[in-house]
Amino acid sequence: MMQLCFNSSKNGIKHWKIFLPVYVILFLILLDSVLAPFLESKMIPASYYFYSILRNFCHQLPSRCLWIFGSNMGLCSRCFGIYLGIFLIGIYLGIKAKIKINLKVSTIFMIPLLIDGITQSIGLRQSDNLLRFVTGFLFGLGIGSIFYPLYFRLVILIKKSIKKGGGNRLVKKQTF
């Protein structure tokens, strides 16, 4: 079993501070997905802009979306589950003192989405929105538990490189 461990106490940096930009982006995506149908239910034209922003992150097929406020969310149920899972595992890992990548557990969390998506796409069965949400959420937990430790390590390496005066090595200089 492969495990990588990153300890924030050795580096003197709190995880949540490093993860803050990711939290903000994910929070805005999740908030947007709820605000779009809310604004649409109030017949506020700005709802169109909220939906159009989310088109960059999801197909938004109404039949595959959860419905709130009498309208479909800005993300399909699977994408909403993925983004929510990534957001929540990030908060959990941001609180922990040590972050470990456990590829076995992460892979196990991701397999249900793959099975659900593949069996549906080849026509063996039809998935429903609850199953799409749950498999998406598990996938988000799995992918987030790989992404956050790698992101943390990358930020630490960049900070160390800059402190040592090696920040110039991060950008290749071109001479003419």
Q: What is the DSSP string of 13-35?
A: --HHHHHHHHHHHHHHHHHHHHH
Asked if pLDDT for residue 62 goes beyond 90, the answer is no
pLDDT at 75: 92
Instruction: Show Cβ contacts of residue 176 under 8 Å, excluding neighbours closer than 6 positions.
Output: none
Mean pLDDT for the stretch of residues 135-145 = 95
Give yes or no for a contact between 7 and 98, defined as CB atoms under 8 angstroms apart. Answer: yes
Give yes or no for a contact between 99 and 5, defined as CB atoms under 8 angstroms apart. Answer: yes
What predicted TM-score, i.e. pTM, was given to this entire model? 0.80
Mean pLDDT for the stretch of residues 111-130 = 91
pLDDT at 133: 95
Per-domain residue ranges of the chain: 3-159
Reported as a single tens digit per residue, the pLDDT across 106-119 is 999 999 999 998 99
Give yes or no for a contact between 94 and 19, defined as CB atoms under 8 angstroms apart. Answer: yes
pLDDT at 164: 76
Residue 25 Cα to chain centre, angstroms: 9
Reported as a single tens digit per residue, the pLDDT across 18-49 is 778 888 999 999 999 899 999 988 998 888 89
Reported as a single tens digit per residue, the pLDDT across 66-86 is 889 888 888 999 999 999 999
Residue 109 Cα to chain centre, angstroms: 14
pLDDT band at 155 (very low <50, low <70, confident <90, very high): confident
Bridge partners of 102?
A: 3
Asked if pLDDT for residue 98 goes beyond 80, the answer is no
pLDDT at 110: 94
Higher pLDDT, 134 or 117: 134
Q: What is the mean pLDDT of the chain?
A: 82
Bridge partners of 65?
A: 76
> Exposure string (b/e) for 21-33, b if CB count within 10 Å is 16 or more?
ebeeebeebbebb
